């Protein structure tokens, strides 16, 4: 098969866990044959236990369930929590569950950062929302602002096929997918069209970034990018400035109350360069921004897990859904416009670091670092991440039934 733009989809924007979790849990409760779920974070809190319970009930009904968690993002699920699922028949795997060194996690790079759910080849979810209470708006000041997409229609088959061909034992199918797949330009724009794209460390290293670059090159009126961890390479920064200089209203929404202070420091190094080119920058103030969304003009939009930072652009496994649909674009535009108007502070020259040789040197170093970081970091780490399947029942230490090379599933190292 060849992945491309699919027509005739039903596409729904989901904001935060308040909308996302009920939709996902309902789909799981109605599952009849198969569920595939991938996520970066699954915490053992109120939301995590809700997911646990609906999956457990589905498994006991005879639904085939495959779960993949990231070993860095979800390292602390208890044996009891996991064993109840594996004993019910859930296939439970960790991506790169490396041991700690002096109490510190060592699997810092090449994270499985995708957030995907596919149910019965009927409905799929793609976005940036993990399974933890901090994605609920009632969590408090630290609640995260984020988005996902619920989709039904032909694109679900592409997402399912991608998932199936990345399961262990499907190396030949995966190699076929690699040969055939190239992200396509939408040559017949219409409505309810979607394209599933991803980033890996093989044939699709820059697919998501290339779609951002093409979007910025094609923009005629307006671009809004809301991205939690904004520290992209020079190509994307240059494309944003070029679009603004030819008259496109380019708006960038970044974290003003970040969950990690270094995020604001990194983004602010880029402010002068972007503002000078005409890009409007807004810092989201209400709570930590975790979204990874963008829109262009009145049709194009994307929602997914891919940040515009070195990890997402160079190392992580990511997935985005690109949408060409007027109604979806308007829904996302209304949401982001409200956020900009009500919860953001626009960056002006007074917020930019003052001109000095020190600040100029830092900016120059940052630009060159950004420009060459993907090539440098692509060599790290030296190890190849593995998948580890948890055997039922779980023992006191993480048991693995098999270890599989996720870059070449089906071949045991």
Q: Which residues are catalytically annotated?
A: 113, 115, 120, 290, 292, 297
Residues 145 and 159: their CA atoms lie apart, in Å, by: 25
Residues 141 and 185: their CA atoms lie apart, in Å, by: 41
Residues 278 and 281: their CA atoms lie apart, in Å, by: 9
Residues 163 and 117: their CA atoms lie apart, in Å, by: 9
List CB contacts of 64: < 8 A, sequence separation 6 or more: 33, 34, 35, 89
Residue in 381, 391, 396 with CA at minimum distance from that of residue 98: 381
List CB contacts of 151: < 8 A, sequence separation 6 or more: 9, 10, 11, 12, 123, 124, 125, 126, 194, 321
Q: Is the dihedral of CA 285, 291, 296, 298 positive or negative?
A: negative
Residues 369 and 325: their CA atoms lie apart, in Å, by: 37
Containing 345, the helix (H) or strand (E) segment is strand 344-346
β pairing state of 344-346 and 318-324: unpaired
Q: Which two tokens stand for residue 9?
A: 């989809």
Residue 208, classed as helix, strand or coil, is helix
Q: What are phi and psi for residue 305, nearest 5 degrees?
A: -100, -10
Q: Are 136 and 16 in contact (CB under 8 A)?
A: yes
Residues 140 and 382: their CA atoms lie apart, in Å, by: 40
Residue 197, classed as helix, strand or coil, is strand
- The end-to-end CA distance of the chain, in Å, is 28
Q: Which two tokens stand for residue 324?
A: 């060409």
Taking the CA atoms of residue 34, residue 37, residue 43 and residue 49 in that order, the dihedral angle to the nearest 10 degrees is -20
Say how many CA atoms lie within 13 Å of 198 toward its Cβ. 24
């Amino acid at each position: 098969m060849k992945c491309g733009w699919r027509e005739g989809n039903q596409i729904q924007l989901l904001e935060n866990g308040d909308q996302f979790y009920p939709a996902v849990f309902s789909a799981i409760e109605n599952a009849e044959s198969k569920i595939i779920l991938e996520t970066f974070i699954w915490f053992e809190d109120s939301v995590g236990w809700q997911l646990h319970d609906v999956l457990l009930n589905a498994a006991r009904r005879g639904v085939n369930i495959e779960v993949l968690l990231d070993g860095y993002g979800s390292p602390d699920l208890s044996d009891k929590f996991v064993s109840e699922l594996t004993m019910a028949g859930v296939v439970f795997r960790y991506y790169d569950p490396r041991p700690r060194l002096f109490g510190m996690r060592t699997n810092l790079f090449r994270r499985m950062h995708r957030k995907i759910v596919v149910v019965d080849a009927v409905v799929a979810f793609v976005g940036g929302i993990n399974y933890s209470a901090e994605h609920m708006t009632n969590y408090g000041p630290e609640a995260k602002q984020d988005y996902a997409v619920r989709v039904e229609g032909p694109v679900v088959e592409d997402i399912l096929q991608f998932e199936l061909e990345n399961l262990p034992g499907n190396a030949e199918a995966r190699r076929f997918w690699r040969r055939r797949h190239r992200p396509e330009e939408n040559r017949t724009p219409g409505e309810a069209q979607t394209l599933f794209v991803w980033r890996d460390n093989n044939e699709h290293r820059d697919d998501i970034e290339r779609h951002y670059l093409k979007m910025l090159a094609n923009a005629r009126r307006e671009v809004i990018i809301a991205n939690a961890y904004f520290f992209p390479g020079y190509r994307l920064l240059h494309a944003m400035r070029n679009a603004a200089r030819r008259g496109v209203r380019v708006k960038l929404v970044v974290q003003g109350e970040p969950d990690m202070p270094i995020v604001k420091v990194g983004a602010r190094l880029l402010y002068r360069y972007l503002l000078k080119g005409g890009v409007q920058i807004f810092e989201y103030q209400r709570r930590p921004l975790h979204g990874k969304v963008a829109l262009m003009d009145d049709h194009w939009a994307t929602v997914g897990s891919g940040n515009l930072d070195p990890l997402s652009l160079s190392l992580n496994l990511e997935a985005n859904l690109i949408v060409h649909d007027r109604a979806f674009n308007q829904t996302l535009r209304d949401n982001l416009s409200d956020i900009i108007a009500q919860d953001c502070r626009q960056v002006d020259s007074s917020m930019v670091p003052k001109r000095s040789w020190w600040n100029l040197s830092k900016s120059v170093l940052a630009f060159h670092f950004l420009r060459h970081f993907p090539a440098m970091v692509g060599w790290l780490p030296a190890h190849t991440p593995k998948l580890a399947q948890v055997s039922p029942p779980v023992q006191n230490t993480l048991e693995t039934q098999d270890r599989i090379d996720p870059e070449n599933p089906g071949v045991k190292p």
